[in-house]
Amino acid sequence: MVIERNASPVASGEGTELRGHFGRTLREARQKAGLTQAALAALAGLTQQYVAKIEAGQINPTLATMAAVARVLHLDVGDMLRLADPSTE
């Protein structure tokens, strides 16, 4: 069963930069794992379009969605968030 989780569109303001950083972190981890967006989506119970929107920073994924993709990538969601946090750079 493929689920397109509730997504809030990108709004200007707080959080937009973090969404972009998280999306880039996700893309890098997915590519390093040798997965396509479609493969990651299928394994995480999402759609390819939803994964593409996360990677593009167009939506704010839920914690459950972040945990699902992290699990597929054999990563800790906390580590992914730390890597994506621009304030730690």
Give the fold, CATH level 3, of 12-88. Answer: 434 Repressor (Amino-terminal Domain) (1.10.260)
Per-residue pLDDT tens digits for 55-82 = 999 999 999 999 999 999 999 998 888 8
Q: What mean pLDDT do residues 8-12 have?
A: 44
Q: What mean pLDDT do residues 19-48 have?
A: 96
Of 27, 14, 5, residue with least CA distance to 80: 27
**70 vs 6, higher pLDDT:** 70
Under 8 Å CB-to-CB from 3, ≥6 apart: which residues?
A: 45, 46
- Output the pLDDT for position 47: 98
**87 vs 60, higher pLDDT:** 60
User: Taking the domains of the chain in order of start, what are their residue ranges?
Assistant: 12-88
The rounded mean pLDDT for the chain is: 84
